[in-house]
């Protein structure tokens, strides 16, 4: 079994329809934690139907969706924990909450406790139009890390996801 799998699925509904072999392989790995970025779901029926469809592949996982509320079919992160993984949800405040980009959890495993940050970092966009937004998101992410580090007996932090680093490096 695998501990954790992270993947930018570029649209979960498309993945559920066209990437069946990938989902079957992932189900065989039976990861303890699954982290999906760019799910492109939105609160309501598409989120519910996608979670229901995922249940066929991963019946032993509990899912947490952070989907865009401002723009349908945009952004979004989804985290699934196998039911034997003890965890709790942590607040992950960001000024970009309506874009579905950030989740945080505390994971309690036999190897030890750790904080898990799941991110789909926004990129600066064509011609760096969202550069200020990107910098704001980076500040929010650093603030979350700082908050987690200040906890009494702060556990290690594992940050996972799509950091969109290549796009901004290449286009910056």
pLDDT in tens, 66-76: 998 888 888 99
Q: Which whole number is the average pLDDT over 141-165?
A: 95
pTM value is 0.93
Please say whether the beta carbons of 110 and 122 come within 8 A: no
- Quickly state the pLDDT bin for 167 (edges 50, 70, 90): low
pLDDT tens for residues 74-122?
Answer: 899 999 999 999 999 999 999 999 999 999 999 998 889 999 999 999 8
Average pLDDT, the chain: 91
d(Cα 76, Cα 139) in Å, to the nearest integer?
19
Residue 168 has pLDDT above 70, yes or no: no
- Helices 20-29, 45-57: inter-axial angle, 10-degree rounding: 60
């Amino acid at each position: 079994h695998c501990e954790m799998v992270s993947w930018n699925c570029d649209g979960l509904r498309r993945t559920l329809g066209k990437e069946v072999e990938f989902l079957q392989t992932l189900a065989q790995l039976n990861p303890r934690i699954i982290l999906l970025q760019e799910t492109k779901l939105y609160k309501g029926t598409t989120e519910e139907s996608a979670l229901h469809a995922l249940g066929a592949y991963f019946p032993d996982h509990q899912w947490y969706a952070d989907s865009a509320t401002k723009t349908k079919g945009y952004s979004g992160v989804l985290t699934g924990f196998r039911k034997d993984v003890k965890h709790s949800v942590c607040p992950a405040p960001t000024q970009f909450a309506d874009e579905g980009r950030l989740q945080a959890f505390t994971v309690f495993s036999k190897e030890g406790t750790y904080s898990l940050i799941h991110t789909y970092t926004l990129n600066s966009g064509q011609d760096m139009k969202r550069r200020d937004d990107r910098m704001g998101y980076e500040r929010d992410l650093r603030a979350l890390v700082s908050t987690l580090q200040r906890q009494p007996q702060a556990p290690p932090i594992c940050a996972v996801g799509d950091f969109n680093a290549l796009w901004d490096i290449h286009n910056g």
